[in-house]
Structure 1
Amino acid sequence: MLLRLRIALPDKPGSLGQVTRALGAAGADITQVLVLDRGAGRAVDDITVFCPDTTSKGDLVSALESVQGVAVEGVWTTREAPGTYPELEILKYIATAGDRALATLIDSMPVLFSADWAAAGTEKEPRTLVYSSWRAPQDVPLPDATPPRPVASTLEGGLHIISAPLPPLALTLLLARSEGPAFHRIEVHRLTRILEIFLTLPSTERSVARQLRK
């Protein structure tokens, strides 16, 4: 199975090597490392690992926390294939998706961000759900107000979300993760860039307008 680990560790030579050895001893194989933050002698990394189903998340946490100075911020399941450029593939499909451009975007977001589900609803009251991915709840918690730019937050109950405006479409997009840590600012920035490109595609506004009229 593929897992995503978010860890904080000392930003000094040898720290990542100790983490690698600890994960290897626990039966995990590192496939990708993404540095999210560095500063004040600390680093925050997202590490994607492949490990047998018999290896529990608890085993990985115990192995990592046995390394001096390492703190585990989250361990959660991911479907994003490491070492690829999935945004490029998704944007290619969206550009040729016709009336399914918005649906293709929303269905893709949980995979791209190791999240649970995504959805979009209208900005105006009464807020109406336009489309949601297959794991979305029946009652999607659309925000009372659409933020001017994508913003991460954690709802009561522990659901982590990013709320993002789609201004030309008068829609609000939600990306949600219940397992793992809150969305990092780097993830928010990544989503922002994807949405900027999506909204500049010539076919986007026309195709979504046709979909909403159906």
Structure 2
Amino acid sequence: MLLRVRVALPDRPGSLAHVTKVLGVAGADITQVTVLERGAGRAVDDITVFCPDDTTRQALVKSLQSVEDVTVEGVWNTREAPGTYPELEILKYITTAGDRALTTLIDSLPVLFSADWAATTTAEHRVVYASWRAPREIVIPEEGAAARPAAMTLDDGLHLIHAPLPPLALVLLLARSDGPAFHRIEVHRLTRILEIFLSLPATERSVARQLRKEPR
């Protein structure tokens, strides 16, 4: 199984080596390391690992907790194949998808961000399109919704990126129930993808196509 591990650790030589050694002893094969932030003597890294099915998340967390000054922020499933530049692949598909640009984007985002589901809704809370793992009833946050894409965590623990799409009069939601809250780097990454999506000539046509369909 492919897992994403997010750890906070001292930003000094040797710290990451200790983490990778412990993961290796626990049976994890490290396939990618992404530095999310550095500052004030600390770093936050996302580490993608491949583990045998008999290696549990609890075993990984317990092993990492044995490393001095390392904090485990989350361990969760991921479908994003490391080292494949997935944004470029998805943007290529979107630019050639024509009237299916919106559905292609929404179906792709959970894989790109190791999330559970994504959806777009109207201001009246009508679901325009949602990926296959989205719940039947989607809760759209009202209070604290920002004018730009922003990360938030709901009272039930669901992590969201709430991304208004003013040119289309829509809101995009990206959600994960497992793992840590969305990092600001993930929010920035989504923002750039949406900027490109909104610049495509076929974007408005793809939204109009979905709006003509029956409500979900």
TM-score range for the pair, normalised by the shorter chain length: over 0.9
Name the residue aligned to 2:147.
Answer: 148
Q: Tell me the TM-score normalised to structure 2 length.
A: 0.95
Contact 2:128-2:210 at 8 Å conserved across structures? no
Cα shift readout 1:132-175 (whole Å, capped 9, x = no counterpart): 00000000112337531001000011000000011111100000
Name the residue aligned to 1:132.
Answer: 130
Q: What displacement does 1:209 show?
A: 1.7
Contact 2:28-2:52 at 8 Å conserved across structures? yes
**Larger mean Cα displacement after TM superposition, 31-40 or 202-211:** 202-211
Q: Which letter maps to 1:33? A: V
Name the residue aligned to 2:47.
Answer: 47
Partner-residue secondary structure (3-state), 2:148: coil
Name the residue aligned to 1:113.
Answer: 113
Name the residue aligned to 1:28.
Answer: 28
Q: Does 1:186 align with 2:179?
A: no
Q: What displacement does 1:40 show?
A: 1.1
Taking only aligned residues, the RMSD between alpha carbons, in angstroms, comes to 1.1
CA distance, structure 2, for counterparts of residue 211 and residue 61 of structure 1? 43
Q: Does 1:38 align with 2:31?
A: no
Q: Does 1:100 align with 2:100?
A: yes
Q: Which letter maps to 2:192? A: R
Cα shift readout 1:31-58 (whole Å, capped 9, x = no counterpart): 0001011111111000000010100001
Q: Which letter maps to 2:11? A: D
Q: Tell me the TM-score normalised to structure 1 length.
A: 0.96
CA distance, structure 1, for counterparts of residue 149 and residue 203 of structure 2? 19
Q: Does 1:5 align with 2:5?
A: yes
Unpaired runs of 5+ residues, structure 2, are none
Q: Which letter maps to 2:42? A: R
CA distance, structure 1, for counterparts of residue 172 and residue 156 of structure 2? 20
Partner-residue secondary structure (3-state), 2:69: coil
Unpaired runs of 5+ residues, structure 1, are none
Q: Which letter maps to 1:23? A: L
Cα shift readout 1:99-145 (whole Å, capped 9, x = no counterpart): 2111110000100000000000002x3x2110100000000112337
Runs of 4+ in 1 over 3 A off after TM superposition: none
Name the count of aligned residue pairs: 212
Name the residue aligned to 1:61.
Answer: 61
